[in-house]
Amino acid sequence: MSEASRVFVPSVSEDSGTSIGLGVFSSEETAWSVLRAFLRKSHLMELTRSSIVVWDVDVVGNEGMTTLSSMHCRDCPVCKRRTFWVDLEHFSAKCSGTSCEAWIEESTIEPGKIDFGWPPTRFLKQCQSVEEALVDLRILGAEIEAAGTTPGQAITSIPKE
């Protein structure tokens, strides 16, 4: 008997409850690429959740389905746009806005610590809790806004020519 093949299905859900399937793919890498590309535009839609589900082909019932990732959308603490995707099961969070990309995740080197940062200024910090990381990122966002950048403007470390 041959091993069952698998397909990867990324999808997003809108505030209205409507689900949008983004395709069915034979590789996990492709499914993640398609989902990440779609999430970069999440500030243009009323999205609440996203997921990647793995289906084993020719398996009957729920045993054929595994949720690989389930993320919730929140307002980014730095750029204030609704582009901050949080995976609560394998805690990580990242702003999908291409000009922001603020992030938070559990430290892979020091268990119990939280790493977070903001790439445009190479800001990197470590703290004890997710709440503390969110507070520090909100402060960073407030400082950026106080310096004259508004949430609607692109935030980047590369100056315009």
**Taking every pair of C-alpha atoms in the chain, what is the biggest distance, in angstroms?**
65
Around Cβ 25, how many Cβ atoms within 10 Å? 19
Structure tokens at 50: 């996203």
Q: Are 24 and 7 in contact (CB under 8 A)?
A: yes
Strand order in the sheet with 114-118: 19-21, 6-14, 47-56, 65-74, 84-87, 92-95, 103-106, 114-118, 123-127
Q: What is the pTM of this model?
A: 0.77
CA angle centred on 111, ends 107 and 116, rounded to 5°:
25
Boundaries of every domain in the chain: 1-74, 75-148
* pLDDT tens per residue across span 80-132: 888 999 997 778 899 998 778 999 999 988 888 999 999 988 889 999 999 99
State whether residue 75 is helix, strand or coil: coil
Strands (E) across 18-148 are located at 19-21, 47-56, 65-74, 84-87, 92-95, 103-106, 114-118, 123-127
Query: Residue 3 has what DSSP assignment?
Result: P
| Phi, psi for 61 (deg, rounded to 5) | 85, -175
Q: What is the pLDDT of residues 16-74, one digit of tens each?
A: 989 999 999 999 999 999 999 999 888 888 999 999 999 998 888 888 899 999 999 99
